């Protein structure tokens, strides 16, 4: 054990990837194909994707939510952890980006596990709740527009079963959350979301400094 975090240098990050990462070939191709994409920074890191895979296994997930699909990297990792008949309800607006995701899902053999909903995510989540699916999901991953994080969180909390887990990406926001001069609306939204989690007694919380920061909230209420 240690009282402080070990600083993560580039060399140490490379070592971690070398000794822990088990990236499937379809995901490696996706990551390498999109490294020069103008929005490549939106893609989940390999370590974070594998961590989501582990979380899905730990909660014995069968039904999961993803808010923000991009090109399908994280949803593929999660789908690979689901048993036969498991489903990822994947919410996104972009047919362009998710067309690449569909290709990766096919290559990874998880296409039948993905239920892609091309619509505003809040509409999809509200429709699931209205359709009687509250308390039926095991895991939710939120990685979309930051100003709606609190709204996505509240819907996800309704849809999760007791003991289900919410993971929210980018809560360190490249360090901007501790810059007193940064009042960008997205930065302020992330700060507000983190404060909300800290104070929310409906969940047990942790923040994992993996990638750009992953907030975890385990639902405690029935």
Do 163 and 59 touch, CB atoms closer than 8 A? yes
122-159 confidence digits (pLDDT tens): 999 999 999 999 999 999 999 999 999 999 999 999 99
Per this entry, what is the length of the chain? 222
Query: For residue 1, is it within any domain?
Result: no
Q: Which domain holds residue 184?
A: 10-219
Q: Is residue 25 part of a domain?
A: yes
CATH number reported for the structural domain that contains residue 59 in this entry: 3.40.50.150
Q: Is the pTM of this model over 0.85?
A: yes
Number of domains in the chain: 1
Q: Exposure pattern of 184-205 as b/e (b: 16+ CB <10 Å)?
A: eeebebbbebbeebeeeeebee
Answer whether 64's CB lies under 8 Å from 49's CB: no
Percent of the chain with pLDDT over 90: 86
Give the helix/strand (H/E) hosting 137: strand 137-142
Q: Is residue 97 part of a domain?
A: yes
pLDDT tens digits for 6-46? Answer: 888 989 989 999 999 999 999 999 999 887 777 767 778 89
Please report whether residue 4 resides in a domain. Answer: no
**Is pLDDT at 1 greater than 60 in this prediction?**
no
Digit-coded pLDDT (tens) for 104-121: 999 999 999 999 999 999
Query: How far apart are alpha carbons 56 and 10 in whole angstroms?
Result: 28
The pLDDT of residue 90 is above 80: yes
Strand partners, 142: 67, 168
Nearest-10 Cα torsion for 33, 148, 131, 78: 30
Q: Is residue 5 part of a domain?
A: no
Report the chain's mean pLDDT, rounded to a whole number.
95
């Amino acid at each position: 054990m240690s009282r402080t975090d070990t600083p993560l240098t580039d060399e140490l990050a490379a070592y971690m990837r070398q000794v822990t990462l088990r990236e499937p070939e379809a995901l490696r191709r996706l990551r390498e194909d999109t490294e020069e994409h103008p929005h490549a920074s939106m893609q989940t890191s390999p370590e974070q994707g594998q961590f989501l895979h582990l979380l899905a296994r730990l909660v014995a997930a069968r039904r999961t939510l993803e808010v923000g699909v991009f090109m399908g990297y994280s949803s593929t990792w999660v789908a690979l952890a689901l048993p036969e008949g498991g489903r990822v309800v994947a919410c996104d607006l972009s047919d362009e980006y998710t067309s690449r995701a569909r290709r990766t899902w096919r290559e990874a053999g998880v296409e039948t596990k993905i239920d892609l909903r091309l619509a505003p995510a809040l509409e999809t989540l509200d429709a699931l709740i209205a359709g009687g699916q509250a308390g039926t999901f095991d895991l939710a991953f939120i990685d979309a527009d930051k100003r709606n994080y609190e709204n996505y969180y509240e819907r996800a909390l309704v849809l999760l079963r007791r003991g289900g887990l919410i993971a929210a990406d980018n809560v360190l926001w490249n360090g901007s959350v501790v810059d007193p001069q940064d009042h960008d609306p997205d930065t302020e939204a992330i700060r507000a979301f983190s404060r909300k989690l800290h104070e929310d007694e409906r969940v047990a919380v942790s923040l994992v400094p993996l990638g750009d920061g992953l907030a975890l909230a385990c639902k405690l209420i029935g």
